[in-house]
Every structure is written in structure tokens, then in C-alpha cells.
Structure 1
Amino acid sequence: MNQAFVLGAGIGERLRPLTEQLPKPLVPVFHRPLITFAFDHLLAAGVSRLVVNTHHIPQAYTEAFPGQSYRGVPIQFRNESPVRLETAGGISNVRDLLGSEPFFVYNGDILTDLPLEPLLRSHRENGNLVTLALRSHGPALHIAMDPATGRLTDIRNKLGTGDDGKYLFTGIYVCDPAIHDWITPGKVESVIPIFLTMMLQGAKIGGVVIDDGYWWDLGSRTSYLSAHAELNGKLGVAIDPAAQIEPGAVLRGMNVVGAGAVIEAGAQLEDSIVWPGGRVTAGAVLKRCIVRGGITAGGTREDADF
């Protein structure tokens, strides 16, 4: 499968104020835009063309990818304005860009390295219209599936099956182009009602459980901080070599400091993240804090975002 639609239009309300200057998928993770981890994941699976929808601060994508490419792979951006179309609406809105070939859909706010080959294999072998990558553990177990057939049967008991779900939807799935026949063009709509309608009408919508690797939804500051703490050393260096840590600054626990960031003399950081270009003033004491680029943070603060 050589193409993917990556959802980049998220507003990131739960991450504010972090998303006041960047769309959620561009928030830095170990000094890199979050969405680039999705791109790397997809490129490793054979994808050679990327389609991304935008909405909130669309110019930030132009700045992040000025050549509209990533590692030599072209990116086609499609802005949703003035209304964000949600997942199903976003898929329909890029129908002309995706053409008549199958495609991945990949949420732009997740961070994972789960293997994608089982998803592709299950989709091909079962002749599904849509196949979801699932996990058997996680924060939101809402997908019901018949293990014998691999077919989805309900989501949050919306169809009245009595099954609230036992699997987590990872936000990664594979679609055949016939999915467009189920979506109303221009309608603001999540993909979940589409999936439920497909189940009711007997369309082949399947799932495959992939528990290998890590998986994070970075939609909240808690998960954002936790992912950095637990994935330290796996995704890059914590302190960028181009960061300036002045003599007398004290760093405790797991801190991530980006290029061009300055931690002034006497400042104390504990389990905090300073984005590229952020600054922490002399004498500041920050615990579990996040400092955005271009922002100066000071004082004694805990669980605060600047």
C-alpha cells in the first residue's frame, strides 16, 4: 500500500495553551514534530505518498515542510476551511487526491511503533472494506469484535448488542476506495457513525489486534509528559546539543530541552519539557512544566504550561 491520509486538522483543545502556536500534530516530541513519527512509521511500511488535512494554523505546516515533502516523499496538503470536517468528512474531502487505490488512515496525534504488516495482511486476506488496528489494553476499550471472524460487531454498545467493547482503536486503519460510497461529501461527520452503519448493513469491516510495540494518544498534557518520560532514549536525546544549560542550573528527573532553549544559571527543572527556543529564567523552579518556543518561564510553578 503506497499512500496514506494522515489527519492533521486537530485543534488540540485539551493541550492548550500548547496548541495556541502549533496544530496538535506539530507539537514537538523529542524536538521533532509529532506527525513526523507517523510519517516515518508509514514510510517504513512502504508508503510513498502522503496526504494531510489541515485546519488550525495551516501555515505552520508550510513552515514545517516548506518543500511539501518529507524525506523525499511528497506531501499533499488540503485545508479544511472555514469548518473542520471531522474524520469521515476529511476522508471524503481528499477523495480526488487518493484516487482509486487503497490507503492508510492515520491519526496525527498518536505516537506508536506497532507493526503495520499484520494490519495489511488481515485486510488483504479477509477482503475487508475497512480494517482497524486494535489493541487489547489501553485507556479506552470501546471496540467489540468477533474473534472467530475478525469482524467488528459494535462500538460502545451503540448497536445494542450488549457489548461495550474490549479493544482499543489505535487510530490507524486501512480503507478500500469503496469507503467513499458510505460517506456523504461535505458533511461534518466522524468516521464512527460510518463504521456503525457498515456493520448494520453487513459490510466487511474488520479488526486485527496488534499488541506489539508502544502506543500513545498525545491528546493531553498528562500523556504528553508520560510519553517523554517512558520513551526516553528510544526516540532521541533528551537534551539537544544546541540547548544552553548555564552553570548552576539543576535538572532532576526526566527533562527534555530543545535546540536553542536556554536554562539560566540557578534555575531548577524537574520532569519538565522546554521546546526549542524556550527559556527558563535564573532562579526559576519548575516541576512537570512545559515551556513553549519563544516563551520565557520563571517563578516557582508545578504542573503549569507556558
Structure 2
Amino acid sequence: MIRKAFLPGAGLGTRLRPLTDLLPKPLVPLFHRPLIEWAMDSCLAAGITDFAINTHHLPEKWTFGESDDHSLIAGNGIFSRKGEFKGRPVHLFHEPELLETGGGVKNIASWIGGDSVLVHNGDIYSSIPIDRLIAAHEASDCPVTLALRSSGDAQHLALNAAGDRAIDIRGMLGIAQGSHVFTGIYCFDPELLNLIPPGQKISVIPAFLELIRQGRLGTITLDEGDWRDLGDHAAYLAAHRDLALAPAIHPEAVIAATAVVENSVVGPGASIREGSALRNSVAWPHSTLAAGETADFRIIL
């Protein structure tokens, strides 16, 4: 049974600026919690007991805090001082220089050891059934199994007739352009490490292509649940309109009696002042919408 999960968290999140000028993308709040916490909860539900995360941009924001409440809002980092998330160990691997998706995996080889690993990008929201991915991987003879969606943008994966093997990625092997979307969630065995050169900044795609040549890059299509990349402002706002993961107005938010709040999410400690109007927007923890100001489809920092 797969018990380890690697959550890549080192990306720059440039499309989300200025949000990511303040926090790494996986720590951006989604319904009052760091985005990555939703991913970690999904992993826990699938049986994961040990986590690794790579860091690069604003690494101090990941630092373990002085309290045990793993609260981003308290300014203590999201994990307890013991380096745990809900009692499970979390290992941080800092990358002074970005190593990309392949180099990031190779860099945690010491933590991987001889175990199989679930990879779940730290900057996506997903409620797809991870347990089905793990079961498919464990029943397969493939060293890697990708979780796919059958619709959406970036349909780069081409599959065999049975739908359980990839046969091309973006037409790079000259076979097909693709029909499925890679979710950024996959399982791999330690054998994958043999296909990634050490000490290099490199994508994982060359290793995937080599496995395709061998007929050994497994796939499973999981259209159940929600899956979305919150990579830009429009997607971030849409997630807060669509998902309803928690009460929109945090109980520690302060909203003036004469303020108007419609179709918006207001974080803890946020202040919506007198005569202001917040519509179709997100107010971050401890942010302020000034008296008399109107915000529509905005993110208040």
C-alpha cells in the first residue's frame, strides 16, 4: 500500500501575482485554509501517512511555527513545530535553484528509499478519488500510473484502445496529439528514479516518454469529483464561487453593519468597513476594504 506522498510546492506561481508575491502558490488560501491543506487531507483519506514537499519561492513561509495549530493565519507556517500535519510527518526539501518536475523527484530520493509514492501537485484543488488511482497502480505492472481527465484544457495525453497506457504526450513521439488531461497526480515506483539524471534541472516528461517507448506508462481516467488548477486570478475567484468548501464569511471576519457583501468569501481577521461593497470577490485574512470602497471580482490582500 502506498503510504508516502510528494507534493511539489516549489513553483513561482507567476500568473497569480501579486498573490504569490506574498505566499508560495500552495499556501494561497482557499476558503480560509492554505490550498495545499486540501490536497493533504485528500491524501490522508487515501491512506497516506508521510509527506514530502519541495520549496523554493519564499521558503520562510513554510517554516514550522511555535504553536501546534498548523495555522497559516497565525503567521506560524502551516505545520506544527514538530514538522507534522495532523500527526503525520512532513519533510521539506528546499531547492535553492528550481529543479523542475523531474529534478524535484530525484532530489527526494533519500526520502523515497525503496517505496512507491503518490505525487499530488500542491497548487491544484482536487476531490478526485485518489484511492482508485493507488489501487490501479498497485494492480498494474507499470512503474508509473497517471491520473487523467477526459475533458478540459491541455488534452496532451494520447491513450491506447484500452485506455490504460499512454502512447504519446503532445505528439512528441509522432503518434497522436492527445485526448486526455494530465491532472498532476500520479503514482510511481522507485524505478522512475533510474530514468532521471542526477543533479539536473529537468522535467519528468523525458522519463515518461521513455516509459511510453517501453509500453509501461500506465493511466487511469478519473472524471469523478472536482479538479481545477487555480493558476490565475479568474480561476481562483471561480473556485470560491463554485466550491462552497466552508462558510464564506469566517466567524473572525469583521463586517460593518452598513457594508454590503455579496457572493464573496471573507477570511479571518478581514475588515469590511462602513459603506463599502464587496461583490464576487475574496478578502484575504487580515485584509481591509476601506470605508466607502467598492470591489467587484477582486482579491483584497
TM-score of Structure 1 vs Structure 2, range by shorter chain = over 0.9
Shift of 1:104: 0.5
Aligned partner of 1:216 among 224, 228, 239: 228
- Counterpart CA distance in 1 for 2:162 and 2:133 is 17
Q: Runs of 4+ in structure 1 displaced over 6 angstroms? A: none
Matched residue, 1:69: 84
Alignment of 1:49-68 (within 5 A): 49-62=50-63, 63-67=77-81, 68=83
Q: 3-state SS of the aligned residue for 2:125?
A: strand
Matched residue, 1:247: 257
- Counterpart CA distance in 1 for 2:255 and 2:206 is 50
- The answer to whether the 8 Å contact 1:5/1:103 transfers is yes
Letter in 2 for 1:283: G
Matched residue, 1:94: 108
Matched residue, 2:20: 19
Q: 3-state SS of the aligned residue for 2:129?
A: coil
Q: Find out whether 1:120 has 2:134 as its counterpart.
A: yes
Bigger shift: residues 109-118 or 34-43:
109-118
Letter in 2 for 1:69: E
- Counterpart CA distance in 1 for 2:157 and 2:221 is 11
Alignment of 1:115-194 (within 5 A): 115-148=129-162, 150-161=164-175, 163-194=176-207
Letter in 2 for 1:45: A
- Counterpart CA distance in 1 for 2:217 and 2:207 is 11
Give the direction of change, closer, same or farther, for the CA distance of 1:150–1:243 in structure 2 (3 Å limit). Answer: same
Shift of 1:203: 5.0
Matched residue, 2:98: 84
Matched residue, 2:69: none
Q: 3-state SS of the aligned residue for 2:269?
A: coil
Identity %: 44
Matched residue, 2:297: 288
Shift of 1:249: 0.3
Q: Find out whether 1:256 has 2:265 as its counterpart.
A: yes
Shift of 1:24: 0.3
- The answer to whether the 8 Å contact 2:163/2:219 transfers is no
- The answer to whether the 8 Å contact 2:3/2:48 transfers is yes
Shift of 1:117: 2.1
- Counterpart CA distance in 2 for 1:46 and 1:182 is 27
Alignment of 1:12-51 (within 5 A): 12-51=13-52
- Counterpart CA distance in 2 for 1:149 and 1:276 is 44
Listed one character per residue, the Cα deviations across residues 22-57 of structure 1 (whole Å, up to 9, x for unaligned) are 000000000000000110000000000000000000
Q: Find out whether 1:270 has 2:279 as its counterpart.
A: yes
- The answer to whether the 8 Å contact 1:129/1:203 transfers is no
Shift of 1:66: 3.9
Letter in 1 for 2:177: D
- Counterpart CA distance in 1 for 2:206 and 2:35 is 27
- Counterpart CA distance in 1 for 2:273 and 2:89 is 40
- Counterpart CA distance in 2 for 1:120 and 1:26 is 26
- Counterpart CA distance in 1 for 2:56 and 2:27 is 12
- The answer to whether the 8 Å contact 2:93/2:108 transfers is yes
TM-score by length of structure 2 reads: 0.93
- The answer to whether the 8 Å contact 2:143/2:188 transfers is yes
- Structure 2 residue runs without a partner (length 5+): 64-76
Q: Find out whether 1:237 has 2:247 as its counterpart.
A: yes
